[in-house]
Structure 1
Amino acid sequence: MKTDSSHTPTDNHAIVIGAGLGGLSAAMRLGAKGYRVTVLDRLDRTGGRGSSITQDGHRFDLGPTIVTVPQVFEKLWADCGRDFGADVDLRPLDPFYEIRWPDGTKFEACSDDERMFAEVEKISPRDLKGYKRFLKDSHARYIVGFEGMVAKPMHRLWETIKVLPKFAQLRADRSIYGHAKARVKDEKLRMALSFHPLFIGGDPAHVTSMYALVAHLEKEYGVHYAMGGVQAIADAMAKVVRAQGGMIRHTAVVDEILIENGAATGVRMDDGSMIKASLVVSNADAGHTYNHLLRNHKKRRWTTQKLKKSRWSMGLYVWYFGTKGTAKNWPDLGHHTIVNGPRFTGLLHDIFMKGKLSDDMSLYIHRPSVTDPTAAPQGDDTFYVLSPVPHLGWNNSVDWGVEEPIYREKVAKVLEQHMPGFRDSVSTELVFTPETFRDRYLSPHGSGFSLEPRILQSAWFRPHNVSEEAKGLFLVGAGTHPGAGLPGVVSSAEVLAKLVPDMHVNAKEPRMAAE
């Protein structure tokens, strides 16, 4: 098999740093190519940001909750000789989600054209024609941006240069919000057509209009939920890795990637022990990989100074809570609800451009218990409420130790408008702030999604899947190409598979791998 890597491993041992969805995908693909894989993760269970915590009978899915483009998982499983559908119970959602505004307006998204046309006309009849144009725009961007680039290596500048004429034709220089503004006049519809980059850490007012492709992804492939949460997908991936003979070590903290004579030779753990391998894949945040794991190696490209000048995705305030005896309460509150504040672009400007924690907010409410009875005790509910907030890298950064209880009350006041009396039913709760993301996931500035996916931080401009710093060193996950989100991090491992040669060295007897 022809690969894009000039590095030929001298043995078949590969190390994957991090058991997030990107790392597990990488381990599966390396296992399928004949490598003996060791996955090292600092958490106590698989999944990384897609893991979960069970507390008082409530399973809190900590990170991604929406599964789009299930085909990336199906292909991953198929390439490993397995059937995704046999391992994971994926349920299509209808509607996908509901968007709400302060004046009581609601918009339900689904895959049916006629229903979507009716939703648009309900808000602004004059914008139906513009909405239909937006759908055509979305399909054109999908062909170029998703089919043409997502699972393709982009570490050679030419691969990006040759798509620039098409990008220019599609007005990739215009923001996704700007593109929605050019198509529809109603401000609510502009929000509904442009908010999606927030799910991967991007400011809709500044990231490229290529993200209009998400509308086509939703329409074509639907929005799904994995029974058992994304944790169930991670656990299924771990089973594949172990069945291939791979090993997954938890509470194992990698402190440094070892480089000798220009090649990765393994890792040093935080206890000083070393593990040797001729292939190292980092699923740690790209910023942490270059700033910390390679701190004793002089960088060619992603230097400390370059990382300081980079733009990072926003932070996240996430309130997880369980409520007792509320399964039949709030019948109009479904699985996914997006609650808008009084401002859209103004709030985005505060978060992404000023680093200001505003009094107003927009919220994403996840209520998995309406679909999945395993998420909560019988008759109870499990909730996950997310508010985008500034990351910790601003000069006026928030001290969340002081601010958290104050902000929680502000969130509660907004929630009371949609879930009257919910506070009286809360039986257990847990809060993540940007400080949690910094400490738990080693995310620079506590950002929720690594580097912000602006056009000059995408494709060739993003940290490459094959590192310039050492032969045999590769990156997967949200901080590298193609970017954050479940399809992105899983596709980063597909790119990896195109860069790494098959291993024909006779493997040792498969090890019984332990969690």
Structure 2
Amino acid sequence: MSNKRKVAVVGAGPGGLAVSMLLAAQGYDVHIYEKQSFIGGRTSKLTLGEYTFDVGPTFFMMPSILEELFQAVGRNLHDYIDMKEVEPLYTLKFGEHTFSPSRNKEKMLKELEEKFPGSSAGYEKFMELEGEKFEHVTKLLQQPFTKLTDFITGNMLRALPKLNALDTVYGRLSTYFDDERLKYAFSFQSKYLGMSAWECPGTFTILSYLEHKFGLHHPIGGVNQLCEAMAAVIREYGGHIYTDTGVKKVLVKQGRAVGLLLENGEKVNGDDVVINADFGHAATNLFEQSDLKKYKRENIEKRKLSCSTYMLYVGVNKPLNLPHHMILFADDYRNNVEDTTKTMVLSEDPSLYVHHPSKLDPTLAPQGKSVLYVLMPVPNLQADIDWDAERENVRERILTLLEREPELKDIRSSIEEEKIITPLDWQNEMYVYKGATFSLAHSLDQMMYFRPHNKFDDVDHCFLVGGGTHPGSGLPTIFESARISSNLLINQYEKKKSYFSKNKGFSQEESSVWK
């Protein structure tokens, strides 16, 4: 197949790479412009001396979605990626109480009865009812919402009774579990959306269901390797990726995107523009405000944002006997969450996520050494926090908490390499609007039709992909956004359905074209 239409893509994050891979395989002339010297955005690789880290996501959930995208372009994901399942899923620590959930049902039920006697029936009910919800939600995540009538579909009408949209994640989990710690164990995933479980719509209990149903997976070399794999396929199909090539403006003529003005002064034309830059940053920086109507700067400032994160990456000069994923819960977890998302202050009693992939993946550190990634949820830059002043204070607080763990009691003396990313760094170095790491919040008034549309409202022939558009943040949903946006772009030229309109990609006959 051949299609000479040129698509200019702003940003080489996972969404931009996925949509570019789909379009390049269809014959579009794809050109990706990336401001950084590396690809991946928040899903990129960080190298400190001999140590390698993922900057953002540290696991991949539901690899079947990415497998389908690769299948749709005539490729096998596993020819590019070596994926390992993580078992147990993670270790959760509530003071001295430890809980290690497993995808293995027999192990999970045994762990539940040992740690939370009488709770296994609630877990089985959770898996049954949330599984039913997931079946309905999936169809909504795969369709575009570009007009209000998109709500009036059979899929939506069948899904509504199952969505629990007017409940909260915490409230929904209270129907399954009595122990507060168990509710936290199945609700902390709302932080993947940058939200509080006490405010996040009850629909999103499916996040913990997905972990327990499909597992968590680690690509050897880090989650960043998913981006490297897509970049390889893009180049195989003749697409172009330009790093160190920032975009200054989207060029708009008579309401239509016609190309890009690069920071180096060069103008590049495009029949279509796809924006993978952080949505808040793009709307407030990459357009002339006179070209916008719905998403002018003052309207973006009214949008609800996710929380941010303080990141500490350290290379440690010894092996560590730690779980792959570990969460240290605050003693007063609800207050900690409210500090982060509501009162917008630094919590005196924080929670930490600790990632230690070295045991499963020896490629990340020299033999006998380890990488350690620590994430502390913190308020975004709407809060009145001086991050230049707090940068070292928070580091000390994190290290003090880590040193409570027997395996990490002398962690300070073992650090060889180190990097910190604060909310201010997310904004200034990674171009994340207000440092809101998980983009726009996923409140009811910012979901589906009420989220920025995959086909950008304000400018024709301009499309969005990534966490700031439908269906939302998180790698699986970002890849779904790529599938939706590529369909919309293709279908504006073709009356027939695009080759990606079916969930499983090309038919066997269509796939053979690409082999």
TM-score scaled by length of structure 1: 0.92
Which position in structure 1 is the counterpart of 2:189? 196
> Could you say what the CA RMSD is over the residues aligned between the two structures, in angstroms?
1.7
C-alpha separation between the residues in 1 aligned to 2:68 and 2:195? 27
Q: Indicate if the aligned counterparts of 1:135 and 1:215 stay in contact, CA closer than 8 A.
A: no
Q: Indicate the residue corresponding to 2:147 in structure 1.
A: 156
Task: Report Cα offsets for 1:127-160 as digits up to 9, x if no partner.
Answer: 3322222222211221121x21122112222223
2:425 to 432, 436, 439: 436
Unaligned segments of structure 2, at least 5 residues = 495-515
Q: Which amino acid aligns with 2:423?
A: P
Query: How much does 1:11 deviate?
Result: 5.3
Among candidates 396, 404, 422, match of residue 417 of structure 1: 404
1:345 aligned partner: 334
Q: What are the residue-to-residue correspondences of 1:249-398 with 2, within 5 Å? A: 249-324=242-317, 326-327=318-319, 329=320, 331=321, 333-394=322-383, 397-398=384-385
Residues 214-241 of structure 1: CA deviation (Å, up to 9, x unaligned):
2332233211000011221111111111
**Residue 141 in 1 paired to residue 128 in 2?**
no
The Cα shift of 1:385 comes to 0.2
Q: Give the SS at the match of 1:501.
A: helix
Alignment correspondent of 1:455: 444
Matched, 1:107 2:99: yes
Q: What is the aligned counterpart of 1:33 among 26, 29, 47?
A: 26
1:50: Cα distance to partner?
Answer: 0.7
**Equivalent residue, structure 2, for 1:132:** 124
- 1:308-362 CA-to-partner distances (Å, cap 9, x unmatched) read 11111111000000110x21x4x2x111111111122111111111111111111
Aligned partner of 2:487: which letter?
A: K
Q: Write the deviation string for residues 494-513 of structure 1: whole angstroms up to 9, x where unpaired.
A: 11122122779xxxxxxxxx
* Structure 2 match to 1:224: 217
Q: Distance in 2 between matches of 1:31 and 1:170?
A: 36
Tell me, in whole angstroms, the C-alpha distance in 2 between the residues paired with 1:367 and 1:195. 19
Greater mean alpha carbon deviation, residues 378-387 or residues 410-419: 410-419
Query: Normalising by the residue count of structure 2, what TM-score does the alignment of the two structures yield?
Result: 0.92
Distance in 2 separating the partners of 1:242 and 1:339: 42
Contact 1:24 1:238 survives alignment (8 Å):
yes
Shift of 1:126: 3.2
Superposition map of 1:176-195 within 5 A? 176-195=169-188
Q: In 2, Cα distance between the equivalents of 1:77 and 1:297?
A: 39
- Structure 1 residues 31, 495: closer, same or farther in 2, change over 3 A? same
User: What are the superposed Cα offsets for residues 296-319 of structure 1, whole Å, 9 maximum, x if unpaired?
Assistant: 334232232321111111110000
1:117 correspondence with 2:109? yes
Q: Please identify, of 493-502 and 315-324, the stretch whose mean Cα deviation from structure 2 is larger.
A: 493-502
Task: Identify the structure with bigger relative contact order (alpha carbons < 8 Å, sequence gap 6+).
Answer: 1
Partner residue in 2 for 1:512: none
Aligned residue pairs, count:
488
- Per-residue displacement from partner, 1:185-228 (whole Å, max 9, x unpaired)? 10100101111121232222111111111233223321100001
Q: What's the secondary structure of 1:125's corresponding residue?
A: coil
Match of 1:78 among 45, 54, 71: 71
**Counterpart AA for 2:427:** R
- Contact 1:11–1:277 (CA under 8 A) maintained in structure 2: no
Q: Determine if the alignment matches structure 1 residue 46 to structure 2 residue 39.
A: yes
Shift of 1:372: 0.8
Identify the residue that residue 234 of structure 1 maps to in structure 2: 227
Instruction: In structure 2, give the amino acid aligned to 1:307.
Output: I
Gap regions ≥5 residues in structure 1: 1-9, 505-515
Offset of 1:165 from its aligned partner? 7.0
2:504 maps to none
Q: Which amino acid aligns with 1:476?
A: V
Distance 1:363 1:348 in 2: 12
Q: 1:404 aligns with which of 371, 378, 391?
A: 391
1:470 aligns with 2:462: no
Q: How many Å separate the matches in 1 of 2:213 and 2:186?
A: 16
Amino acid at match of 2:447: S
Letter in 2 for 1:117: L
Contact 2:4 2:29 in 1 (8 A): no
Aligned to 1:508: none
Write the distance in 2 (CA, Å) between the matches of 1:263 and 1:28.
Answer: 24
Quote how far apart the aligned CAs of 1:168 are: 4.6
Partner SS, residue 37 of structure 1: strand
Give the C-alpha shift of residue 182 in structure 1.
2.6
Match of 1:5 in 2: none
Amino acid at match of 2:313: Y
Aligned-pair CA distance for 1:247: 0.7
State the AA in 1 paired with 2:300.
L
Confirm or deny: 8 A CA contact 1:141 1:212 kept in the other structure.
no
Q: Give the counterpart letter for 1:61 in structure 2.
A: D
SS at match of 2:289: coil
Report the equivalent of 1:3.
none
String of CA shifts for 1:359-380, please: whole Å, max 9, x gaps: 1111110111111111111100
Matched residues, percent identical?
A: 32
Greater mean deviation of Cα atoms: 290-299 or 264-273: 290-299
